[in-house]
Amino acid sequence: MPNDRNREPRALRMSRRRMLKGAAAVLGALALPGKDASAAVWEAFLRRNFREMTARDKARVVARLEKEYEAQFGKRVKVAVTPPIEGVLYGYGLDLHRCIGCRRCVYGCVKENNPSRNPQIHWIRVLQMKKEHGVDLEEAAHYYNPSKVPEKEFFYMPVQCQQCERPPCVKVCPVQATWKERDGITVVDYNWCIGCRYCMAACPYGARHFNWKKPGLPAAELVTETHYLGNRPRPVGVVDKCTFCIQRVRNVPGRYPACVEACPVGARKFGNLLDPESEIRYIIANKRVFILKEDLNTQPKFYYFYAT
Cα-Cα-Cα-Cα torsion 89, 300, 292, 101, nearest 10 degrees, comes to 40
Phi and psi, residue 159, nearest 5°: -125, 130
Does residue 308 belong to the site contacting another protein (CB under 8 A)? yes
According to DSSP, the residues that pair with 141 across neighbouring strands are 128
Does residue 237 belong to the site contacting another protein (CB under 8 A)? no
Nearer to another protein, 5 or 152 (CB): 152
Question: What is the C-alpha to C-alpha distance for residues 280 and 91, in angstroms, rounded to an integer?
Answer: 7
Smallest distance, another protein to C-beta of residue 268, A: 8
Cα-Cα-Cα-Cα torsion 94, 98, 101, 104, nearest 10 degrees, comes to -70
What distance lies between CA 267 and its chain's CA centroid? 23
Smallest distance, another protein to C-beta of residue 266, A: 3
Closest CA to 199 of 235, 174, 233, 232: 174
Q: Give the x-and-dash track for 116-145 against another protein (CB under 8 A).
A: ---xx-x--x----------------xxxx
Question: What is the C-alpha to C-alpha distance for residues 183 and 255, in angstroms, rounded to an integer?
Answer: 16
Smallest distance, another protein to C-beta of residue 178, A: 23
The answer for 74, left when phi > 0, alpha when psi is -120 to 50, beta otherwise, is: left
Q: Give the x-and-dash track for 287-306 against another protein (CB under 8 A).
A: x-------------------
Does residue 184 belong to the site contacting another protein (CB under 8 A)? no
**Per CB under 8 A, which region of 19-27, 55-63, 220-228, 267-275 contacts another protein?**
267-275
Nearer to another protein, 60 or 281 (CB): 281
* HEC readout, 168-204: HHHHHCCCCCEEECCCCCEEECCCCCCCCCHHHHHCC
Question: What is the C-alpha to C-alpha distance for residues 197 and 159, in angstroms, rounded to an integer?
Answer: 19
Does residue 263 belong to the site contacting another protein (CB under 8 A)? yes
Does residue 49 belong to the site contacting another protein (CB under 8 A)? no
Does residue 177 belong to the site contacting another protein (CB under 8 A)? no
**Per CB under 8 A, which region of 10-18, 104-112, 164-172, 179-187 contacts another protein?**
104-112
Between residue 77 and residue 96, which ones bind another protein under the rule CB under 8 A?
Answer: 85, 88, 93, 95
Chain residues that interact with another protein, rule: CB under 8 A: 85, 88, 93, 95, 100-104, 106-107, 119-120, 122, 125, 142-151, 249, 252-256, 260-261, 263-266, 269-272, 279, 282-283, 287, 307-308
